[in-house]
Amino acid sequence: MKKTKKTAVIIILFICLGGLVGYTVGSVVKSSDRSSTILQVLKDNCNCKEVNQIIYAKGIQFGANGLSTEKGEFQLVDCEFTSVKDEVTKIQKLLKSDVKDFDKVDLLELEFVNSENSETVIIKNGKIQ
């Protein structure tokens, strides 16, 4: 009798552990859509010759801009706009409205490149720095 109770407890523990692992994997897969959504919003709403995704990484990272768990870098080439500040404000509003849980992206770097110069703008947790 004792052996069957012990076996039943072990089976229940393994089922719970399997459920937890399945839930974690499912959440990671669902949240990976954020990078493609961000890229699509940039391509659809920015008047640029090119919009490139340089990197989109998940996991603990430490760099010049501090610690992050989700980081994206996008390059916008030869864009037409009057002011970088106004363009980034427009992009931030669009990303907040179109990308689910955009404020959970720890670090988003937008590099505006043209023939004359290059300027990088950082958005941390949905806020322009």
Q: Are residues 76 and 121 in the same domain?
A: yes
Higher pLDDT pick, 32 / 96: 96
Cα 74 to its chain centre, rounded Å, is 11
Q: Are residues 45 and 1 in the same domain?
A: no
pLDDT in tens, 36-65: 999 999 999 999 999 999 999 998 888 888
Asked whether the whole model's pTM tops 0.85, one would answer no
Is 27 a residue whose pLDDT tops 60?
no
Which CATH number do you get for residue 110? 3.30.300
Whole domain around residue 57: which residue ranges? 32-128
In this structure, the strands spanning 107-113 and 66-79 are parallel
Exposed / middle / buried, residue 99 (Cβ in 10 Å: 0-12, 13-18, 19+): buried
